[in-house]
Amino acid sequence: MKCKDIVKELADYLDEALDPCLRTSIEQHLGQCKDCRVVVDTTKQTIEIFCNSEPAPLPPTTRQRLHDALVKRLRRSRTGSTPQA
């Protein structure tokens, strides 16, 4: 399980709609990877805030937007850590 996979499964993971095996893999990764833990925590908080203000499940467009934002963020943090020549 890589950081990329975490992002891919994150929406389902937070929805608790995930296959138990996959869920265990994600939790194992989260135990080892601080970056992903931060992403998951932040996303969870965002969803909680969102759900408190609107008692509806996350619409697919919002899920997609969230997913895109996370992918972008992960990509940026990866290129950001690479020194430019």
Using CB under 5 A, list all residues that contact Zn ion. 3, 33, 36
Other Cβ atoms closer than 10 A to 73: 15
- In whole angstroms, what is the distance from residue 25 CA to residue 77 CA? 23
Amino acid at 21: C
Write down how long the chain is: 85
Q: Given the complex with Zn ion, which of 41 and 54 has the nearer CB atom?
A: 41
Min separation Cβ 28 and Zn ion, Å: 11
Q: Given the complex with Zn ion, which of 34 and 84 has the nearer CB atom?
A: 34
Min separation Cβ 54 and Zn ion, Å: 30
Q: Given the complex with Zn ion, which of 22 and 33 has the nearer CB atom?
A: 33
- In whole angstroms, what is the distance from residue 10 CA to residue 79 CA? 21
Count how many Cα atoms sit within 13 Å of the Cα of residue 22 in the half-sphere of its side chain. 14
Min separation Cβ 49 and Zn ion, Å: 23
